[in-house]
Amino acid sequence: MGCVMKQTGKNSKTAIQINQEPDRCSGCGACRDICPVSAIKMEENEKGFLYPKVNVDMCVYCGKCKDTCPLNRTTSGTEPIFYAVRIKDIEKRMKSQSGGAFTILAENILSEDGVVYGAAVSEKLKVQYLRVTDVQELEKLKGSKYVQADLGNTYTEIEKDLKAGRTVLFSGTPCGVDGLLSYLDSKKIDQNKLLTCDLICHGVPSPLVYRKYLDYIRKTNGEPTTFVFRDKKNWGWRQQAESYVIDGKLYSSQVYTSIFSSNLALRESCYKCRYATVIRRSDITIGDYWGVEKLLPEMEKDDTGISLVMIRSEKAVNYLLKNEEQIEIWESEKSKSFQWNLAFPTLKPRETELFWNNEQKQDIRFLIRNYVYSQMRKQLESDRITVIHDGKEEVVQFLLNNEIRKVIIFGRVGKETETVWESIRDSEVQVIGFVDIFEEYPEATKVFDLSIVSFEEAKSQILKGDAIAFLTDETNMVDIQRKLYRNKIPFKKMIPISFVLQGGI
């Protein structure tokens, strides 16, 4: 937290003043948990992040909070050995965010009557830490949680478990792991039975922004009963989309994942993260192995996920390989394992302060329209979706430049589809047909002169390489992509075209 001891009254035992330094404090809460008189509470600031606050009337000026804060301790990490890992059980892998490395570690810990701590989404959709002792409960800890989790009394609970002789796995952000280790060091707790696992972390978004997004969903669609931050089951490993269920119906969106990816709502300390390095205190670091095809070319077309694993202790090796027959493992190299957030903190966008200033005045719809969509647009233009800004000629030129001569249009009858059809009709590009993805207009040919083809017929021609799926409806792009992908049409066979995003969400 970056704190300093300072006498604030005539009585020398009156106070310790905490200099919160929001660009340094990660909110780990080690200072709160170490305080012998419970004089420190974690309170939410105006951005929704927790920071320590001292009750000066209770403070005994012992200095334990200052000594325990990871920012005030001199510790050194260890250079890791790099591996690519995935669990062989495809069902377990698909329930994991990447390759199932966490599942492997957790199951091996639980098999010894151990305890696992990790972030979970509660029934009320709050993200908080959960103590798990049964493999059936382990499902709650799997998957990414793109929001800062509430650690609660996790550090003190782990202390009790270690004192009782139980084996413990703690999984969390690198700052959370460092906070735990600093707390246990201060308490002089034996850590031989503790396995620490941290993540390749992009940064932690604000719980306040997450709550506002949930409120927006409630107002527009109803009460969600589940929330998955990154839906691998329906979208695949390489895609970013959240999903939630309302009244038994599955909804998908890329709004919250875009909030996360925009970097606008991260904790201030994330922009100066001291853990954006491979040298850390944890036993093991795990995350998505982006770029794995550099090590394993055959993985280029695999979309079930694979983990990058960095091992720093013999303890980690033992728990990873305890049931070696259940996993596939390849030794990697540092040069082939490079991930941006293992070398640099996340860059702070120029619009961040403006975003937060407006966050206090505007509802989530305003923020999404004016900030997140602008970030989405930049990403779309540099990634899979081409954003058409102006005339019809630009559509044709884009297709010709990419040597696309045959397309099947997916969308719904409306302005965008008609504009695309009018653009292509008299060009060198052949439109084989139109698929009304929502089946709302069975007589769509009466609206414009374009043959309707069935979804199965279109799928057959696309998979044979006779045509490319041409997506036109920006407002429903996520649903269209998801439907095609679930029907085994790979993303490289899709050409999403979006006109400049306008209006509400």
Pair 422, 338 in one domain: no
Residue-wise pLDDT for 252-267, tens only, equals 887 888 888 888 999 9
Give buried/exposed letters for 484-497 (b at 16+ CB in 10 A, else e): bbeeebebebbbbb
Residue 54's DSSP bridge partners are 40
Pair 450, 330 in one domain: no
Q: How far apart are CA 250 and CA 305, in angstroms?
A: 22
Band (374; pLDDT cuts 50, 70, 90): low
User: Tell me, what's the pLDDT at 402?
Assistant: 67
Q: How far apart are CA 10 and CA 14, in angstroms?
A: 8
User: Tell me, what's the pLDDT at 505?
Assistant: 31
Q: How far apart are CA 365 and CA 359, in angstroms?
A: 10
Pair 388, 284 in one domain: no
Pair 218, 295 in one domain: no
Instruction: State the average pLDDT for the chain.
Output: 83
User: Tell me, what's the pLDDT at 399?
Assistant: 74
pLDDT tops 80 at residue 108: yes
pLDDT tops 80 at residue 194: yes
User: Tell me, what's the pLDDT at 492?
Assistant: 66
Average pLDDT (362-380) is 64
- Asked if residue 55 is part of any domain, the answer here is no
User: Do residues 267 and 26 touch, judged by C-beta distance below 8 A?
Assistant: yes
Q: How far apart are CA 505 and CA 289, in angstroms?
A: 33
pTM for this one? 0.75
Pair 293, 393 in one domain: no
Average pLDDT (416-426) is 72
User: Tell me, what's the pLDDT at 283?
Assistant: 98
pLDDT tops 60 at residue 54: yes
User: Tell me, what's the pLDDT at 124?
Assistant: 94
Nearest to 392 by CA among 358, 361, 366, 426: 426
Q: Which long-range contacts (CB under 8 A, 24 or more apart) does 378-385 make?
A: 379/258, 379/261, 380/498, 384/491, 384/494, 384/496, 385/477, 385/496, 385/497, 385/498
Nearest to 471 by CA among 436, 422, 500, 428: 436
pLDDT tops 80 at residue 488: no
User: Tell me, what's the pLDDT at 251?
Assistant: 86
Pairing of strands 307-311, 115-121: unpaired
φ/ψ of 267, rounded to 5, equals -65, 145
Band (380; pLDDT cuts 50, 70, 90): very low
3-class secondary structure per residue, 66-97:
HHHCHHHCCCCCECCEEEEEEECCHHHHHHCC
Pair 191, 290 in one domain: yes
User: Tell me, what's the pLDDT at 378?
Assistant: 53
Q: Which amino acid is at 282?
A: S
Average pLDDT (53-62) is 92
CA atoms within 13 A on the CB side of 38: 2
Q: How far apart are CA 243 and CA 227, in angstroms?
A: 6
Q: How far apart are CA 108 and CA 62, in angstroms?
A: 40
- Asked if residue 73 is part of any domain, the answer here is no
Tell me the residue range of the domain where 152 lies: 81-205+266-342
Pair 192, 322 in one domain: yes
- Asked if residue 59 is part of any domain, the answer here is no
Q: How far apart are CA 505 and CA 501, in angstroms?
A: 10
User: Tell me, what's the pLDDT at 473?
Assistant: 62
Q: Which residues contact 138 (CB under 8 A, 6 or more apart)?
A: 103, 106, 107, 110, 116, 132
Residue-wise pLDDT for 281-303, tens only, equals 999 999 999 889 889 998 887 88
Tell me which of 444 and 432 has the higher pLDDT: 432
Q: How far apart are CA 284 and CA 310, in angstroms?
A: 6
Q: How far apart are CA 471 and CA 437, in angstroms?
A: 10
User: Do residues 105 and 196 touch, judged by C-beta distance below 8 A?
Assistant: no
Q: How far apart are CA 305 and CA 288, in angstroms?
A: 8
- Asked if residue 110 is part of any domain, the answer here is yes
Report how many domains make up the chain.
3
What CATH code is carried by the domain that includes residue 480? 3.40.50
- Asked if residue 434 is part of any domain, the answer here is yes
Q: Which amino acid is at 398?
A: F
Pair 217, 366 in one domain: yes
Q: Which of 48-62, 410-424, 449-463 has the lowest mean pLDDT?
A: 410-424
Single residue among 360, 377, 394 that ends a domain in this structure: 377
User: Tell me, what's the pLDDT at 386?
Assistant: 44
Altogether, the residues listed in the chain come to a count of 505
User: Tell me, what's the pLDDT at 461?
Assistant: 86
Share of the chain above pLDDT 70, in %: 81
User: Tell me, what's the pLDDT at 388?
Assistant: 43
Sign of CA dihedral 276, 278, 283, 285: positive
User: Tell me, what's the pLDDT at 437?
Assistant: 73
User: Do residues 174 and 275 touch, judged by C-beta distance below 8 A?
Assistant: yes
- Asked if residue 71 is part of any domain, the answer here is no
User: Tell me, what's the pLDDT at 155?
Assistant: 99
Single residue among 288, 321, 342 that ends a domain in this structure: 342
**Exposed / middle / buried, residue 398 (Cβ in 10 Å: 0-12, 13-18, 19+):** middle
What torsion do the CA atoms of 89, 199, 268, 214 make, to the nearest 10 degrees? 20
pLDDT tops 60 at residue 105: yes
Q: Which two tokens stand for residue 364?
A: 């989530």
User: Tell me, what's the pLDDT at 475?
Assistant: 56
User: Tell me, what's the pLDDT at 241?
Assistant: 80
Q: Which DSSP symbol is given to 413? A: S
Single residue among 319, 342, 365 that ends a domain in this structure: 342
User: Do residues 483 and 437 touch, judged by C-beta distance below 8 A?
Assistant: yes
Share of the chain above pLDDT 90, in %: 49
Band (387; pLDDT cuts 50, 70, 90): very low
User: Tell me, what's the pLDDT at 10?
Assistant: 40
pLDDT tops 80 at residue 7: no
Residue-wise pLDDT for 201-236, tens only, equals 999 999 999 999 999 899 888 999 999 998 887 777
Pairing of strands 307-311, 284-288: antiparallel
User: Tell me, what's the pLDDT at 373?
Assistant: 59
**Exposed / middle / buried, residue 413 (Cβ in 10 Å: 0-12, 13-18, 19+):** buried
- Asked if residue 10 is part of any domain, the answer here is no
Pair 477, 423 in one domain: yes
User: Do residues 200 and 288 touch, judged by C-beta distance below 8 A?
Assistant: yes
Nearest to 28 by CA among 172, 132, 190: 172
Pair 416, 481 in one domain: yes
Sheet holding 226-228: strands in order across?
Answer: 226-228, 242-246, 249-253
Pair 164, 298 in one domain: yes
User: Tell me, what's the pLDDT at 452?
Assistant: 81
User: Tell me, what's the pLDDT at 170?
Assistant: 99
Band (34; pLDDT cuts 50, 70, 90): very high
User: Tell me, what's the pLDDT at 160?
Assistant: 98
User: Tell me, what's the pLDDT at 383?
Assistant: 42
Tell me which of 360 and 340 has the higher pLDDT: 340
Pair 456, 426 in one domain: yes
C-alpha angle 38-43-270 in degrees, rounded to nearest 5: 115
- Asked if residue 11 is part of any domain, the answer here is no
User: Tell me, what's the pLDDT at 474?
Assistant: 57
